[in-house]
Amino acid sequence: MAATTASDTLKRTPLYALHVALGAKIVPFAGYEMPVQYPMGILNEHLHTRSAAGLFDVSHMGQIRLTAKPGRNAAVALERLVPGDIAGLKPGQMRYTQFTNDQGGILDDLMVTSTGDHLLLVVNAACKDADLAHIRRHLSDDVEIEPMFARGLLALQGPAAVDVLAAHAPQVRGMTFMTGSFVMIGGAECYVTRSGYTGCDGFEISTPADACESIARLLLADARAKPIGLGARDSLRLEAGLCLYGHDIDTTTTPVEAGLVWSIGKDRRAKGGFPGDQIIIRQIAGGPPRRRVGLRPEGRTIAREGTEIVDTGGAVLGKVTSGGFGPSLNGPLAMGYVDRAHAATGTKLALWCAAGRCRPRSWPCRSSSTPTGGADLMRTVPLPARQSVASARAMWRPHLEWQFAFPSGQRTPWRQ
């Protein structure tokens, strides 16, 4: 009997052939064969995105369209599942929110855009089937639910993204942050939002499946745009302090613990009406038991996911949920949860660095026979609670304290 290999069950996005042609290293991710890096390498892909433009294939993410049934209101219905202010979205506006469970935990985080006629949802790849079932179970009486999982989704990110895209669709110059619009690109009707997951200015472009590759090629024909893999996507979002579902947030973390209160509508905090509302409202008022914090190790050693965070006496306070090297920061950075008493900015913490625990092996090695336990010092730094952008020319500049500085402009909730 033939063995079933992982690749038998892995799916491919419309850009798979292009990734291979561009020399990508392909890895399994959320059930898809995805490019983790191209020959340029993760460091240079990251820096290129910060200085020019990067094109990401995010077609594995789930796109779902909701349309109100006659006499119903799709936004009001969706608010039964999320704490965000969805009913207040004007046509063309976009918002970040979360599906919560009855304990106030996060089932998934998502972007919601109103087109006026529909709500367009973008959910995480690994959660999309569960999200679809969740929506069907709760909202079928109110909305038509249309999964659009075959569509392409491209992210064009970086300070040059607007110039690269405007060469084909000049009207995107007029779009403001966290808004969406139907746009023709290369003869195909796309839905474009000015948003992203990198801390840079940029766009996400929802394309018909059969137009995805030609649009990607069109954008990559511009020398300023380079293909960027999942590796740099991760380091970019980590520097921006943005949560990765399944790591920094999951069913056991509430939006309050995760520092996402900014994404909860004012009216919704007062009235509730979403799963886990009592717990979440109580945590907003009285403080959560633990908080997500940014962490800056003082040396060069990288604090990776799962590393325990301890106080100076060695007592465990929490653990790192994402950690790595920040190429723009040129140093290690991480985020994780610590109990509330240790969450204040500037708190000195340590990362427990026992051999074989925070230093996972990347190629087959024997395990170390002489564990050399030790604590590397680090301290908490503020997470960017929300990001601000200048209307069109957002520039990314890291501060010493891992803050974000944009020249000026409106402060708008960002995807966290």
> Is the Cβ of residue 205 or residue 320 nearer to another protein in the bound state?
320
Name the percent of the chain in helix, strand, coil, to the closest 5: 25, 30, 45
Residues 279-308 that bind another protein (CB under 8 A): 300-302, 304
> Is the Cβ of residue 19 or residue 134 nearer to another protein in the bound state?
19
Query: What x-and-dash track marks residues 361-380 binding another protein by CB under 8 A?
Result: xxx-xx-x-x-x--------
Cβ-contact 111, 96 below 8 angstroms:
yes
Q: Which two tokens stand for residue 144?
A: 């038509």
> Is the Cβ of residue 2 or residue 363 nearer to another protein in the bound state?
363
Taking the complex as a whole, how short is the minimal distance between the CB of residue 51 and another protein, in angstroms? 17
Residues in the chain: 416
| 3-state SS, residue 157 | strand
Q: What's the half-sphere exposure (Cβ side, CA atoms, 13 Å) at 310?
A: 17
325, 347, 354, 385: which one contacts another protein (CB under 8 A)? 325
Binding-site residue total for another protein (CB under 8 A)?
27
User: With binding defined as CB under 8 A, does residue 400 bind another protein?
Assistant: no
The interface region with another protein, picked from 87-95, 245-253, 358-366, 386-394 by CB under 8 A, is 358-366
Taking the complex as a whole, how short is the minimal distance between the CB of residue 307 and another protein, in angstroms? 11
Cβ-contact 317, 336 below 8 angstroms:
no
Taking the complex as a whole, how short is the minimal distance between the CB of residue 250 and another protein, in angstroms? 23
**At CA 82, angle to CA 111 and CA 136, rounded to 5?**
90
User: With binding defined as CB under 8 A, does residue 29 bind another protein?
Assistant: no
152, 227, 241, 324: which one contacts another protein (CB under 8 A)? 324
Which is nearest to 97 in space by CA: 275, 278, 337? 275
CB within 8 Å of 87: residues ≥ 6 apart: 73, 75, 76, 79
Cβ-contact 148, 64 below 8 angstroms:
yes
Taking the complex as a whole, how short is the minimal distance between the CB of residue 322 and another protein, in angstroms? 13
Residues 219-238 that bind another protein (CB under 8 A): 231, 235
Biggest alpha carbon–alpha carbon distance for the chain: 70
The interface region with another protein, picked from 88-96, 157-165, 175-183, 354-362 by CB under 8 A, is 354-362
Chain-centre distance of CA 2, in angstroms? Answer: 38
Which spans of this chain sit near another protein (rule: CB under 8 A)? 37, 41-44, 231, 235, 300-302, 304, 324-325, 327, 332, 355, 358-363, 365-366, 368, 370, 372
